[in-house]
Amino acid sequence: MSMSEGIVHADVKFKKHQRTEGKDGATASTVNDATYSEISIPRTGRNQPSTDTNAGDSDSQEGSKVRAGGCDPVKVVLVTLCFLLMGTVIGLRFLYNSNLPTKNTELQILQAAYDRNLTDLMIKNRELQELQVKIKDLQENERAGNKDYPKPRNCAKDWEYYGGKCYYFSPDELTWAQSRDECITRGGHLVIIGSLEEQV
């Protein structure tokens, strides 16, 4: 028996015995099944008697009432999930809207720091280029030599160059006359060194 939306449906089976006689006079019984169906729809009135075929079965009536008046658990689960999903979406939206101004402020700070670093980098690059130009000029001046001082000329062996002149310092201790004669022999002149720089 099943009950759906106040409609009661019952299937009742009856067995009918029939006897048949054989050729030898023996009798045999056969069973035929007959099924009868009855559908009863209760009326809306409270005081009208029920036409349910199993009205006397109190257990089946109580179970039917519980099933008819109770909630479908699948629907309850679906409704609960819908509410949870809706609450999650609302919460995420609220968090996104509350964090958006903070993220914009952080982005502006990072952009300003990036601009400052880029400006500093451009200044450093310009200074580096200027230093490279100065170094190049100094190298060219060094190669060309300084024109304020006379260029050194080739001196003979054992002679030393200083201040545009070549000097010979004899390791021997000689008298003034001997020193003068040796200088003339070497093609030079005997001089007295009065400058401390020349003496060094």
- Domains of the chain, by residue range, sit at 2-69, 71-148, 159-199
Contacts of 33 (CB under 8 A, 6+ apart): 13, 14, 15, 16
Over residues 145-171, mean pLDDT: 71
Using an 8 Å Cβ cutoff, are 129 and 121 in contact?
A: no
Q: Taken in order 184, 186, 188, 193, is the CA torsion positive or negative?
A: negative
Give the whole-angstrom CA distance, residue 15 versus residue 35: 9
| Residue found by looking up tokens 């009868």 in the block | 36
For residue 12, give both structure tokens.
């009742």
Taking residues 140-163, what's their average pLDDT? Answer: 68
What pTM does this model have?
0.28
Q: Is 3 helix (H, G, I), strand (E, B) or coil?
A: strand
Write down the mean pLDDT value for the chain.
72
Q: What is the pLDDT of residues 14-50, one digit of tens each?
A: 565 555 555 555 555 555 555 555 555 555 544 444 4
pLDDT digits (tens, 9 = 90+) for 63-110: 444 455 567 889 999 999 999 999 999 989 888 888 888 888 888 999
193 versus 152: the higher-pLDDT residue is: 193
Lowest mean pLDDT of 48-52, 93-97, 123-127, 157-161, name the range: 48-52
**Distance (Å, whole) CA 144 – CA 115:** 44
Tokens representing residue 139 in the block:
């190298």
pLDDT band per the 50, 70, 90 thresholds, residue 118: very high
Who's near 199: CB < 8 A, 6+ residues apart?
193
